Homo-oligomer: A and B are copies of this chain.
Amino acid sequence: MFFASDNWAGAHPAIAENLTRHAPGFASAYGTSDLDQAVERTFCEIFEREVAVFFVATGTAANSLSAAALARPGGIMLSHRDAHMITDEGGAPEFLTGGLRMAGVGGSGGKIDVAELASAINCYPEGAVHSGQLAGISLTQATEIGSVYTLKEIDAICDLAKQHALPVHMDGARFANALVKLATTPAEMTWKRGINVLSFGGTKNGCWCAEAVIFMNPEQTKDFPYIRKRSAQLFSKSRFIAAQFEAYFKDDLWLTSARHANTMASRLAERINVSKNARLAWPVDANELFPIVRREAVERLQREGAAFYPWPTPLELIDRIGPDETLTRLVTSFATSEQEIDQFADLLG
């Protein structure tokens, strides 16, 4: 019963096999091999346009180096106040950008509120050196609480950004989970809406270590190879990241895996909805669930070996959680089984 995080899962067998297949032989290093290039072509096909693709080691690297690519001196990047970049990346966005400030914007259900965003933008008028200058907006898809922005909601943010000539970054650590939820295409969910830079995550969805920064306009990436190198994120045997992505995309493995994770989350949500010891804090869009659980049930589950984390209570829930309750997070993955779900739900009661 492993619901602590999708990064507790291992590697999908097809990805493991492909790595082994590519293990022998020589290939040029630092992202120049035939395999690297073939996988870059695949990204272009998937996104239905020329994109520039840069592999990096971690999701935090993808986000922080995206921010570094957009950074301006004294710059401010706006995101949801509970975004991973603010709460969970140990200051990497600030550090790797040379001091860009991540400024939080409110919004219920894990999503940026467009009116609050507009008013935050107005705090940083052009030319006001004391407040700093805006460098961009970052939204997370799926969000930190597992909700998924609709295409219209992405439009609203991108439209506002465009009015202020601000680039938009998408943190897609769980890109695939959001994509299958919306039943749309990568192009529709990104550049057709106005997304400029994407952190494309593969690790949480069955890779060992496969993250990429995707620029929708390759012409804007002149400095990025240097940004990546000076951040020590350029792999020598880069082809092994490529090998993971090759298998990830083959036969739509990535979509199948994400769909499985989401389905498992729905199954668990159904059980929680009829539980007498738990209720969901938010609707379940993708592969994360946030049940408010009676403390005694939490303890029982942990005693029986279920792995999951309590979650810090956000502002909007402060009045909704009782003294004998705990907000928890459950995450499903490509590797979650129906048996695990049922066993967990039975124990929850």
Interface residues of A (CB under 8 A from B): 2, 4-5, 7-13, 15-17, 19-20, 22-30, 56-61, 64-65, 68, 72-76, 87-92, 94-102, 123, 127, 129-133, 203-204, 208-209, 223, 225-237, 240, 307, 312, 335
Q: How many copies does the complex hold?
A: 4
Tell me whether B59 and A57 are in contact (CB under 8 A).
Answer: no
Residue from A19, A92, A229, A240 having most chain B Cβ neighbours under 10 A: A229
**For A17, what are the chain B residues with a Cβ–Cβ distance below 8 Å?**
20
CB distance from A224 to the nearest CB of B (A): 8
Tell me whether B92 and A57 are in contact (CB under 8 A).
Answer: no
Cβ 8 A contact of A237, one of B24, B91, B208, B228: B208
Tell me whether B92 and A129 are in contact (CB under 8 A).
Answer: no
Q: In the docked arrangement, what's the CA distance between A98 and B71, Å? A: 12
**For A100, what are the chain B residues with a Cβ–Cβ distance below 8 Å?**
91, 94
Tell me whether B72 and A223 are in contact (CB under 8 A).
Answer: yes
CB distance from A304 to the nearest CB of B (A): 15
**For A229, what are the chain B residues with a Cβ–Cβ distance below 8 Å?**
60, 74, 89-92, 129-130
Tell me whether B132 and A90 are in contact (CB under 8 A).
Answer: yes
CB distance from A248 to the nearest CB of B (A): 14
**Chain B residue at minimal CB-CB distance from A94:** B99
Q: In the docked arrangement, what's the CA distance between A88 and B204, Å? A: 32
Cβ 8 A contact of A230, one of B73, B203, B230: B73
Cβ 8 A contact of A129, one of B9, B123, B234: B234
Tell me whether A7 and B22 are in contact (CB under 8 A).
Answer: no
Tell me whether A129 and B225 are in contact (CB under 8 A).
Answer: yes
CB distance from A54 to the nearest CB of B (A): 11
Tell me whether A57 and B203 are in contact (CB under 8 A).
Answer: no
